[in-house]
Amino acid sequence: MAGAPDPVLRTPAPAPDADALLSCLRREGTPRSVHNMELFLDDEVQAAVARRLGINARLDSGDPFAAQKFQVALQRSLGYDFVRCALENVEWTWNTTLIEDTAPTRREGGRRFTDEHRGPIGSWEELESYPWPDYSRAGTRGLEWYQENLPDDMCIASGGAGHFAELLTWLMGYETLCFALQDDPALVRALAARIEEHLLRQIELYLQFDRARLIWGSDDMGFRTGLLLSPADMRELALAGHRRLAARVHEAGRLYLLHSCGNLRDIRADLIDDVRIDAKHSFEDTIESVIDAKKEYGGRVSVLGGIDVDFLCRSTEEQVRARVRATLDACLPGGGYCLGTGNSVANYIPLDNYLAMIDEGRRYTA
């Protein structure tokens, strides 16, 4: 029946409060309500939520800024205090493999995976001939619209930035990178320097917009039991770039959040004390629960998400709600925690379980 409450998302979304979100991320005290954060929602999830909540019916598809207005409506309907916006026309290319997507809300055209064996750069000649992004063509149309039109109670979070380690593995291929670290380390360092040059230029474009209060560094640096590179190589080739990027973000009065998958225990102190990230995102139960992270180092850096993706895929709605309550009991006091998945809202997570997580956060009282 039209107008009937959603069977899972039963609790009204609170009004966004970007200032309260920033205060929570700065660990300035227990927030009055739960704030939600995700690195991103897969497009298929966004479309499914929009159909369920009737968002598309409220928008004019012929509007040149329909995409931005859709994001505002979607984020507010779900209870987020921000919209995520990336630069336009900044293109990196690397080798990928296409496979069929078997998720229930499957991706048209399949899923692409990066070739771990060989990327487009494996020699000095390929380093020079690679089609590097042209920042004179970088587009800020979406950022400009949000800067002028985003409701006052929301802020902008950058699209993923700071892919220092990831771009090394994507552009060389992880296997080629590992051999090159032994056979031609000067080439690896030259590539890392070129990547850093481009990523620092990228961040300056975001910082032109004072409503871009959150800069998301996104850089997967590990796997289940350790780092993708040695701690020494990771410090030289990736963390040095993150440190300079974070310093520039802090100089501009913004917060630097880091999404990074994998076991980062060997560089955790570097991230907190040297890079000086403001928040850590991506938690997987088989590596480290967000509750344990909050206990161990939540007094020095905020922790985000942590409702494990595998758990969300396999659990009942009531199990999801119980875990959300237990996580909030442990992580919300003092601030420095926002509710969300352990990684991102992938299209293979049952939609009802994702919405149950959101709804239980709305219902939560300490």
Which residues span the domain enclosing 240? 93-147+157-267
- The verdict on 223 and 262 lying in the same domain is yes
Instruction: Classify residue 85: in a domain, yes or no.
Output: no
- The pLDDT profile of the chain, 366 residues, written as one tens digit per residue, is 345 578 999 999 999 999 999 999 999 999 999 999 999 999 999 999 999 999 987 778 788 999 999 999 999 999 999 999 999 999 999 999 999 988 878 888 899 999 999 999 999 999 999 999 998 899 999 999 999 999 999 999 999 899 999 999 999 999 999 999 999 999 999 999 999 999 999 999 999 999 999 999 999 999 999 999 999 999 999 999 999 999 999 999 999 999 999 999 999 999 999 999 999 999 999 999 999 999 999 999 999 999 999 999 999 999 999 999 999 999 999 999 999 999 999 999 999 999 999 999 999 986
Statement to judge: residues 207 and 311 lie in one domain: no
Residues 261 and 306 in one domain: no
Residues 213 and 307 in one domain: no
143 and 75 belong to one structural domain: no
In a domain, 87, yes or no: no
Residues 166 and 303 grouped into a single domain: no
Residue 272 lies in a domain: no
Whether 8 maps to a domain, the answer reads no
Final residue of a structural domain among 267, 291, 313: 267
Q: Write the secondary structure of the chain as one string of H (helix), E (strand) and C (coil).
A: CCCCCCCCCCCCCCCCCHHHHHHHHCCCCCCCCCCECCCCECHHHHHHHHHHHCCHHHCCCCCCCHHHHHHHHHHHHHCCCEEEECCECCCCCCCEEEECCCCCCCCCCCEEEECCCCCCCCCHHHHHHCCCCCHHHCECHHHHHHHHHCCCCCEEEECCECCHHHHHHHHHCHHHHHHHHHHCHHHHHHHHHHHHHHHHHHHHHHHCCCCEEEEEEECCCECCCCECCCHHHHHHHHHHHHHHHHHHHHHCCCEEEEECCCCCHHHHHHHHHHHCCCEEECCCCCCCCHHHHHHHHCCCCEEECCECHHHHHHCCHHHHHHHHHHHHHHHCCCCCEEECECCCECCCCCHHHHHHHHHHHHHCCC
- Is the CB of residue 354 less than 8 Å from the CB of residue 343? no
Residues 119 and 243 both lie in one domain: yes
Of 219, 242, 267, the domain-final residue: 267
Same domain (yes/no): 74, 104? no
Domain limit, last residue, from 267, 297, 324: 267
Same domain, 211 and 289: no
Its pTM surpasses 0.75 = yes
Residue 5 within a domain: no
Inside any domain, residue 28 = no
Q: How many domains does the chain have?
A: 2
Which two tokens mark 178?
């590992």
Question: Are 317 and 215 contained in the same domain?
Answer: no
Residue 25 domain flag: no
Residue 291 phi, psi (nearest 5): -65, -45
Separation between Cα atoms, residue 341 and residue 366, nearest integer Å: 20
Same domain, 206 and 287: no
